[in-house]
């Protein structure tokens, strides 16, 4: 999915990450499996009741986490990714997170998967979704997700 994101941003030649380097440096988490009703572009997909969640701890060696969202319980191809790491603000004296990437595969956009990823991220790090903000100088398609949250 990282290569897909880079291709979308027209920067595919800049990707140096490999599967091996990602497995060495990222911890992984999965969001509950979701099932979006066909054509339900305004609803956030509901978690699948039999879903088993994976939450690998962040460590000194694995300082960032990739939160993956799957469409169904077979855990086949993921539909979305939120890649984040923890930060600390000397100005506010508070910890925070930096959302490096939020990506939903094009064929799954408009079905609530981006919103589902943001909600799960807020749950994982223990913050209100209303506290998530973005750099307003950057115009990105997911800006509306933060405004609707």
Give me the CATH number covering residue 143.
3.40.630
Predicted model pTM: 0.72
Could you give the number of structural domains in the chain? 1
The verdict on residue 9 lying in a domain is no
The verdict on residue 76 lying in a domain is yes
Distance, CA of 6 to CA of 14 (rounded, Å):
8
pLDDT at 40: 43
Burial of 127 (0-12, 13-18, 19+ CB in 10 A): middle
**Pairing mode of beta strands 64-70, 46-47:** unpaired
Contact (CB, 8 A) for 119 and 44: yes
Structural domain that includes position 50: 24-148
Higher-confidence residue of 2 and 129: namely 2
* Mean pLDDT within 5-16: 94
Please enumerate in sequence order all residues whose Cβ is within 8 A of that of 91, keeping only pairs 6 or more positions apart, or say none: none
Please enumerate in sequence order all residues whose Cβ is within 8 A of that of 11, keeping only pairs 6 or more positions apart, or say none: none
Distance, CA of 84 to CA of 66 (rounded, Å):
7
Band (57; pLDDT cuts 50, 70, 90): confident
The verdict on residue 2 lying in a domain is no
Dihedral of CA atoms 43, 47, 53, 58 in degrees, nearest 10, equals: 20
Distances (CA, A) of 39 to 36, 42, 44, 107: 8, 9, 12, 12
pLDDT at 101: 92
Q: What is the pLDDT of residues 131-142, one digit of tens each?
A: 665 555 444 555
Q: What is the pLDDT of residues 88-121, one digit of tens each?
A: 889 888 888 889 999 999 999 999 999 989 988 8
Strands of 26-30's sheet in order across? 26-30, 64-70, 78-89, 94-104
Burial of 18 (0-12, 13-18, 19+ CB in 10 A): exposed
The verdict on residue 16 lying in a domain is no
The verdict on residue 13 lying in a domain is no
């Amino acid at each position: 999915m990282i290569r897909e994101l880079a291709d979308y941003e027209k920067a595919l030649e800049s990707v140096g990450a490999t599967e091996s380097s990602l497995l060495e440096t990222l911890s992984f988490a999965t969001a509950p499996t979701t099932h979006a009703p066909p054509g339900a572009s305004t609803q956030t997909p509901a978690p699948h009741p039999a879903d088993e969640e994976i939450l690998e701890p962040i460590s000194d060696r694995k300082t960032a986490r990739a939160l993956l969202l799957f469409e169904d319980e077979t855990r086949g191809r993921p539909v979305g990714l939120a890649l984040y790491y923890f930060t600390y603000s000397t100005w506010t004296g508070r910890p925070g997170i930096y959302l490096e990437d939020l990506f939903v595969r094009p064929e799954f956009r408009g079905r609530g998967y981006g919103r589902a990823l943001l909600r799960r991220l807020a749950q994982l790090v223990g913050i209100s979704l209303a506290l998530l903000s973005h750099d307003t100088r950057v115009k990105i398609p997911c800006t509306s997700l933060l405004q609707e949250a």
